[in-house]
Chains A and B, each alone.
Chain A
Amino acid sequence: MSILEMIYGTPAGKFVAKKAGLSEPPTLRRGRTMPSGPVALAELGGGGLAAECLQLLGVSTVEPLLDVADARTKDDKGRMQPPRYQTRPGAVVVDATGVRRITELEGIRQALRPAMRGLEKSGRIIILATDATGVEGLEAKAVAQGIDGINRTVGKELRDGSTSNLVFVKPGTTAADLASTLSFLLEGRSAFVSGQAWRVGPSKDPHDLTDRPFDGRVVVVTGAARGIGAAIARTFSRDGATVVAVDIPAAGDALAKVANEIGGSALQLDITAADAGQKIAGHVARVHGAQKRIWAIVHNAGITRDKMLANLDEKLWASVLDVNLAAEMRINDFLLSNPDAPGGLDTSARIVGIASTSGVAGNKGQTNYAASKAGVMGLVWAMKDELADRPITVNAVAPGFIETEMTGAIPFVQREIFRRTNSLNQGGKPVDVAETLAYLCGPASGGVDGQVIRVCGQNLVGA
């Protein structure tokens, strides 16, 4: 810890920091906890899906306040104020799936204005809209994208750990298809996901939503010995999974600790080995039973070998691309093309990868890393099409600044800047990445396919 960081940690330091505009970041609501305040549901013309979905989740809703002229009141200075909630809502769900015209966007404004300063801490704005592919006409398509602009801006304006996210619903999507997404967004599991938009469609292989979705299921997590990987292993285990924790042999002791802690198993393996896929399947069959299948594989293992391109040789270049991208492809390739291999993929398995905001926006000194992580995103999009006729889904998360041993090594001032340059004013926790991955891998999330969800607190980097 640097002297600067120590001073910053003292009450005096915090006071000075606050005067300088660096307020204490809010503590986010995490885990499988619902908002404590009521959930307000605003249905714009033609909605209905959100109501049905919330009912399915057993969430009762209240009427939203709408900022219309006759609902406003004058404050003591005589200015017109939007209506104020008596009890701060925990979430405002806006069902805009029926919105097609520019003039109808006004409905979203009306529903959101009273919520902007009326939400409880770690509150939620969740907007549902119809995906542009499901609407007719230029105006409707432009409007769909317009809603995303609202969402992203609302995310930046919200305070006290509240988030805003948008779900684009594809044609034919049912309330059951949407349930896992809506529950994820309402609960604390989505704490560090804000300003994001992703698409949900009809599930390829419907399953019911439960709190222990991975009971009896095997989940493989690479890079599981420490940091984000260990958090992923623990989170899947909490949700019922038997976790196969994979990491390089040199990290075997930390890996064994994680595996034993969660009652999983450890596989010491260099994932860049040509036969890594076979070895993973073989381990699953051997340790967990020949009839067991891999329900989900989380490709978390990754390395950085940062250097400005001006100083970057072929060795550093190749090692990062091999570990972060090529190894993942080789393992997927084996598992997908050997569906009957003992310990192989379940017919409706989930494949998830880890991209990065560096892959979205680039980052100085990380050409190799950004190439690999942008590659992971490209892989997700391409595999979604390739696997269109199989009930397997492929998704990724793109973490922003997450507090780990690795980011702990970044110099304090730079680290503090990384922490602050997002809408939640803080770094995320490894568990935030893990929760999002677990949501994507949930059996009930069969309608979420080909998506890259950023877990970055709406970091400025990466747009």
Chain B
Amino acid sequence: MTTRTAVIVGGNRTPFVKAGGKYAMASAQDLLTAALDGLVARFGLAGQKVDEVVAGAVLKHTRDFNLTREAVLGSALSAHTPACDLQQACGTGLEAVVYVSNKIRLGQMDVGIAGGVDSASDAPIVVSEPMRRAMLDLSRARSLPDKLAALAKIRPADLVPVPPGVVEPRTGLSMGESQARTTAKWEVSREDQDQLALESHHKLAEAWDDGFFDDLVTPYLKVSRDGILRPETSMEALGKLRTVFGKGDEATMTAGNSTALTDGAALVLLAEEEEARRRGWPVWAKVVDAQVAATGYVNGEEDLLLAPVRAIPTLLERNGLTLADFDFYEFHEAFASTVLATLKALEADGHGTVDRTKLNVKGSSLAAGHPFAATGGRIVASLAKMLAEKGPGSRGLVSICAAGGQGVVAILEA
């Protein structure tokens, strides 16, 4: 039906930094604006209109109801650039890419920017429920006695703010604890996890040294490389870390093989293929197809972070492909054991194996960090560039797990 193709022509992100670090004073809007400005400068788009910018954040202030549009207004783009916010937990960035590429394919736009941002440092603080009710009563109170009565309801304990937690509302389990169950269930060893983490660091460091990120990252606040990256780490160093999730002998997850809370923003520039060629932009890769799925994790029968295991087969079948038909696999490392359990589950379901030498070849979330909504933009831009370097016809599979038992997967092709 459609002859239009959406292609990735470039990307830009800030370096990612551990929460509370050098971006501690930067808001999500600051980070998103910085990433936009870097992208605008890279493609000489200052003062120009882009058809739409689509991004989002997972940890979002109520004041940031129009986060992306505000970032656009603060950027060098024309004020006539519309924007929309989108949110699907860690799948946000990739969903934004899917949203924009679908609009491009339908002829609703020619050039768009997709991505996301998260600042765990600038996370919204929630007040306790009694405190919130008292404040609402206070705002409604007309007379002084009513106001005093509202204030009098507040107890000292109510003043303690509720810190943001990565906790699933329906299970009360943190993401790490949920994954610890998955890790034990799929019998993923500590050594395998540490090995994957080690490779992630070494590959990411090598990519930085090779200048792979020269046209993918713009420094921000005097940070010019990912702050979490540990090029010098070793199996020995990773092996010494104490476990932080899971219980007793079953516990294998450490701070070294789990992603840290991170601040950062990442964006991808997409265009209709002919439009990209007309502008002389590099056509790195086309967005072939995408799939979302969710698991019934609430009763504990399925795994919180293994929804990609449901999404990938659907995607492959629709496109007449098998797991072996890819040159690169980009599996988001929420935890090392998420990736390893995903691979085991795919294999158990009869979908074959993933060639580990083609997996996350430029490093991934464990080494780069994982600002939730920014991860999709980081992965898509990097993978698209890798595919362009590999040559026409090369194919990549993206898999991102998300809170709420969801998963977003996509196929890119050069």
> Which A residues form the contact surface with B (CB < 8 A)?
242, 245, 249-253, 255-257, 259-270, 273, 285-290
In angstroms, Cα B42 to Cα A288, docked, is 11
Tell me if A251 and B44 are in contact (CB < 8 A). no
Instruction: Name B224's contact: one of A249, A267, A269 (CB within 8 Å).
Output: A249
Instruction: Name B219's contact: one of A253, A264, A267, A273 (CB within 8 Å).
Output: A253
In angstroms, Cα B214 to Cα A251, docked, is 11
B residues 189-224 near A (Cβ < 8 Å) are 211, 213-215, 217-221, 224
Tell me if A289 and B280 are in contact (CB < 8 A). yes
Inside 8 A of B221's CB, which chain A residues have their CB?
A: 253
Q: A257-B37, A261-B76 are in contact. List 8 more A-B contacts (CB 8 A).
A: A251-B219, A253-B220, A256-B41, A256-B218, A257-B41, A259-B41, A265-B42, A273-B211
Interface residues on B, range: 20 to 34
Inside 8 A of A260's CB, which chain B residues have their CB?
A: 37, 40-41, 46, 76
Tell me if B279 and A289 are in contact (CB < 8 A). yes
**B58-82 near A? 1/0 per residue, CB < 8 Å:** 0000000000000000001000000
Tell me if B280 and A286 are in contact (CB < 8 A). yes
Tell me if A287 and B44 are in contact (CB < 8 A). yes
Report 6 cross-chain contacts, Cβ distance below 8 Å, ordered by A residue.
A253-B218, A268-B218, A270-B211, A286-B280, A286-B282, A289-B279
Inside 8 A of B38's CB, which chain A residues have their CB?
A: 252-253, 256, 266
Inside 8 A of A268's CB, which chain B residues have their CB?
A: 42, 214-215, 218
| A240 shortest CB reach to chain B, Å | 15
Inside 8 A of B217's CB, which chain A residues have their CB?
A: 249, 252
Tell me if B44 and A265 are in contact (CB < 8 A). yes
In angstroms, Cα B44 to Cα A345, docked, is 19
Tell me if A250 and B44 are in contact (CB < 8 A). no
| A288 shortest CB reach to chain B, Å | 6
In angstroms, Cα B214 to Cα A273, docked, is 12
The A/B interface has a contact count, at CB < 8 Å, of 78
| B265 shortest CB reach to chain A, Å | 13
Inside 8 A of B282's CB, which chain A residues have their CB?
A: 286
What 7 pairs between A and B have smallest CB-CB spacing?
Answer: A265-B44, A256-B41, A260-B76, A266-B41, A259-B41, A250-B224, A252-B218
Task: Indicate whether B281 reaches chain A with its CB closer than 8 angstroms.
Answer: yes
In angstroms, Cα B279 to Cα A260, docked, is 19
Tell me if A252 and B46 are in contact (CB < 8 A). no
In angstroms, Cα B224 to Cα A115, docked, is 55
Task: Indicate whether B387 reaches chain A with its CB closer than 8 angstroms.
Answer: no
In angstroms, Cα B77 to Cα A263, docked, is 10
Q: Residue on A with the closest CB to B277?
A: A290
Q: Residue on B with the closest CB to A253?
A: B219
| B270 shortest CB reach to chain A, Å | 16
Task: Indicate whether B34 reaches chain A with its CB closer than 8 angstroms.
Answer: yes
| A335 shortest CB reach to chain B, Å | 18
In angstroms, Cα B40 to Cα A256, docked, is 8
Task: Indicate whether B391 reaches chain A with its CB closer than 8 angstroms.
Answer: no
Tell me if A265 and B41 are in contact (CB < 8 A). yes
| A256 shortest CB reach to chain B, Å | 4
Task: Indicate whether B47 reaches chain A with its CB closer than 8 angstroms.
Answer: yes
Best-surrounded residue of B34, B42, B211 (most CB of chain A within 10 A): B42
In angstroms, Cα B280 to Cα A290, docked, is 6
Inside 8 A of B40's CB, which chain A residues have their CB?
A: 256, 260
Inside 8 A of A242's CB, which chain B residues have their CB?
A: 44
B residues 218-244 near A (Cβ < 8 Å) are 218-221, 224
In angstroms, Cα B42 to Cα A245, docked, is 10
